[in-house]
């Protein structure tokens, strides 16, 4: 038995757009994801978030189910367009009421709420009036929204995450264009990333100055990173792997922990990468009480030899052309239903890399999990592959902790099957199964396995 430290937080996670549905109910305005789904070519199964898991109407049942699975913490996100549906300043009381009910129901079931402020459902009116993250005006509007949430919910919410996955928002939304708002550009990812960091840091300043002392909570940002392992021990491959992690994670984490972007990025991007003023560096530096990490997969990296200029089959390449490297997959690696290789040691190495580079921050794994094709046997969901995935990744987390990394919590992605963005509903990440005809939820074998891990605080 691999025991975890006392007080380790075991949770599960979701996001508003992926589960809530009720897309136009009780005054909610459209988000950029509602708009993005209107173009059916954007979503694999031509679906949208109009109903999703109908969590908006079924949240009590869902929280009871969480309780029955022994889950101690629940990470969910607030839909900004429920709180500010029509403009950046008039709050919608019914939206506030909904999250009050969720928070109160969680607390009455002894489940700790972990709240993400931005999990990608930007109000469409901000996109329409100034193109959302492209304009610095967003900093002020995000701050107003964040302050409203601290004000209404902060008496009971003690764990805040400002932004989920700046890399996905910027690279997939503004670089490759496969996520909302669907733009393709070499420059916009870096520009929007800059505004995301400043929005995060401004909201943290607001929390610290106006709320933290009396409310006593913590606030941070969650970033995602795949691990990048050098394909050989040649110095140029080792350097390329380091650079790949810098372009993925240090892009957002270096400003927060060190005060500026990594040199490898500045050297390659020049003025395509915006500059922080001295005042902004001060604002951003130190703006997280914990290091939120989402992790899914790993790839090998090699330096370019000069003959090729493109990647050879890696996943989640990002702005690869800016990085002077190629990704390589080991064909022997098993893959999930997203085609993401299953490489548990990659998570251990990534945790150790973060520990070293950022001087031992408290790390919370705010997402880890997998899509699998679930087998249904006698009405039960037999997802042994998902159990194996969790067992191997949670064991890797345990090894990192044994090596001194301060991992404080782990959230399984996801509590239930849901809208997997551009992949639609076919990709199932849940530990609970959702029948999309009846919307009935059924715990999968992995949920029962996870219950056991939580109750023993060990894997």
Q: Which residues are catalytic?
A: 165, 367
Measured from the Cβ of residue 306, the count of other Cβ atoms closer than 10 Å reads: 6
> 127 vs 367, which CB is nearer to ligand PNW?
367
Cα distance between residue 429 and residue 87, in whole Å: 34
Q: Which of these segments, 33-41, 54-62, 84-92, 164-172, binds ligand PNW (CB under 6 A)?
A: 164-172
Q: Please pick, from the candidates 148, 316, 336, 348, the single residue that binds ligand PNW as defined by CB under 6 A.
A: 316
In 321-444, alpha helices (H): 344-357, 384-402
353 in contact with ligand PNW (CB under 6 A): no
Nearer to ligand PNW, 290 or 296 (CB): 296
How far apart CA 292 and CA 13 sit, in angstroms, is: 13
**How many C-beta atoms lie closer than 10 Å to residue 384's C-beta?**
13
| Residue with Cβ nearer ligand PNW (36 or 413) | 413
The DSSP bridge partners found for residue 382 are 375
Minimum distance of ligand PNW from residue 261's CB (angstroms): 20
Check: CB of residue 338 under 8 Å from CB of residue 392. Answer: no
Options 4, 10, 12, 15; binder of ligand PNW; rule CB under 6 A: 15
Q: x/- string (CB under 6 A) for ligand PNW, residues 245-284?
A: ----------------------------------------
Among 16, 224, 288, 329, binds ligand PNW (CB under 6 A): 224
Interface residue with ligand PNW, options 48, 162, 164, 192 (CB under 6 A): 164
The crossing angle, in degrees rounded to 10, of helices 384-402 and 445-456 is 30
77 vs 242 by CB, closer to ligand PNW: 77
Taking alpha carbons only, the member of 226, 233, 238, 297 closest to residue 264 is 238
Shortest Å distance, C-beta 193 to ligand PNW:
15
Distances, alpha carbon 156 to alpha carbons 3, 82, 375, in Å: 30, 19, 39
Question: Quick count: other Cβ atoms within 10 Å of Cβ 406?
Answer: 17
Buried b or exposed e, range 4-40, using 16+ CB within 10 angstroms: beeebbbbbbbbbbbbbbbbeeeebbbbbbbbbbeee
Q: How far is the CB of 202 from ligand PNW (least distance, A)?
A: 22
Question: Closest separation between CB of residue 222 and ligand PNW, Å?
Answer: 8
User: Measured from the CB atom, is 88 or 196 closer to ligand PNW?
Assistant: 196
Coil/strand/helix, residue 222: strand
Whichever of 92 and 170 has its CB closer to ligand PNW, that residue is 170
Does position 367 interact with ligand PNW (CB under 6 A)? The reply is yes
Tell me the C-alpha distance between 369 and 386, whole Å.
8
| Beta carbons within 8 Å of 290's beta carbon, 6+ residues apart | 218, 220, 361, 362, 363, 364, 408
Considering the complex, what minimum distance in angstroms separates the CB of residue 115 from ligand PNW? 14
Q: Is 16 in the site for ligand PNW (CB under 6 A)?
A: no
Which among 160-168, 184-192, 201-209, 250-258 is the span making contact with ligand PNW, rule CB under 6 A? 160-168
Residue number with CB closer to ligand PNW (287 or 316):
316
323 binds ligand PNW (CB under 6 A): no
Do 62 and 416 contact (CB within 8 A), yes or no? yes
Q: Is 117 in the site for ligand PNW (CB under 6 A)?
A: no
Give the nearer residue to ligand PNW in terms of CB position, either 88 or 412: 412
Smallest distance, ligand PNW to C-beta of residue 12, A:
13
Helix axes 188-210, 137-153, angle to 10 degrees: 40
294's tokens: 């989402």
How near is the Cβ of 247 to ligand PNW at its closest, in Å? 13
Report if residue 48 touches ligand PNW, rule: CB under 6 A: no
Q: Does 413 bind ligand PNW (CB under 6 A)?
A: yes
For residues 141 and 131, what is the distance between their CA atoms, to the nearest angstrom? 13
Our finding on whether 420 is near ligand PNW (CB under 6 A) is yes
3-state secondary structure of 311: coil
The size of the interface with ligand PNW (CB under 6 A), counted in residues, is: 13
Q: How far apart are CA 30 and CA 15, in angstroms?
A: 16
User: Least CB distance from residue 16 to ligand PNW, whole Å?
Assistant: 10
* 165 near ligand PNW (CB under 6 A): yes
Tell me which residues touch ligand PNW (CB under 6 A).
15, 18, 164-165, 168, 224, 294, 296, 316, 367, 413, 420, 429
């Amino acid at each position: 038995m691999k025991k975890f430290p006392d007080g380790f937080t075991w949770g599960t996670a979701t996001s508003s757009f992926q589960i809530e549905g009720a897309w136009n109910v009780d005054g909610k305005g459209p988000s950029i994801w509602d708009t993005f789904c209107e173009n059916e070519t954007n979503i694999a199964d031509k679906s949208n978030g109009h109903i999703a898991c109908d969590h908006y109407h079924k949240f009590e049942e869902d929280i009871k189910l969480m309780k029955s699975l022994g889950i101690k913490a629940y990470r969910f996100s607030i839909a900004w367009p429920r709180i500010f549906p029509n403009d950046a300043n008039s709050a919608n009381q019914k939206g506030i009421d909904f999250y009050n009910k969720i928070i109160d129901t969680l607390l009455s079931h002894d489940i700790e709420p972990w709240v993400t402020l931005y999990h990608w459902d930007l109000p469409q009116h901000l996109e329409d009036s100034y193109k959302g993250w492209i304009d610095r005006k967003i900093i002020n509007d995000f701050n107003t929204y964040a302050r409203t949430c601290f004000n209404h919910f902060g008496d009971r919410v003690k764990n805040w995450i400002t932004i989920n996955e700046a890399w996905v928002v910027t690279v997939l939304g503004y670089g490759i264009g496969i996520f909302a708002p669907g733009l393709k550009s070499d420059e916009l990812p870096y520009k929007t990333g800059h505004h995301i960091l400043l929005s995060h840091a401004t909201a943290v300043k607001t929390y610290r100055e106006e709320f933290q002392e009396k409310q006593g909570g913590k606030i941070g940002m969650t970033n995602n990173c795949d691990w990048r392992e050098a394909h050989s021990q040649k110095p140029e491959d080792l350097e390329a792997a380091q650079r790949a992690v810098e372009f993925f994670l240090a892009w957002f984490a270096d400003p927060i922990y060190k005060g500026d972007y990594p040199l490898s990025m500045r050297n390659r991007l020049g003025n395509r990468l915006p500059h922080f003023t001295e005042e902004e560096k001060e604002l951003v530096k130190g703006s997280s009480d914990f290091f939120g990490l989402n992790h899914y997969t790993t790839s090998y990296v090699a330096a370019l030899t000069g003959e090729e200029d493109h990647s050879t089959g890696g996943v989640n390449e990002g702005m690869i052309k800016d990085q002077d490297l190629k990704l390589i997959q080991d064909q022997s690696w098993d893959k999930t239903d997203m085609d993401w290789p299953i490489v548990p040691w990659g998570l251990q190495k990534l945790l150790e890399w973060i520990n070293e580079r950022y001087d031992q921050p408290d790390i919370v794994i705010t997402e880890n999990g997998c899509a699998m094709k679930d087998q249904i046997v006698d009405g039960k969901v037999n997802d042994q592959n998902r159990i194996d995935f969790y067992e191997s990744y949670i064991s890797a987390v345990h090894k990192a902790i044994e090596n001194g990394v301060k991992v404080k919590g782990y959230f399984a992605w996801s509590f239930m099957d849901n809208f997997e963005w551009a992949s639609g509903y076919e990709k199932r990440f849940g530990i609970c199964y959702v029948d999309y005809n009846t919307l009935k939820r059924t715990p999968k074998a992995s949920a029962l396995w996870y219950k056991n891990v939580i109750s023993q605080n060990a894997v």
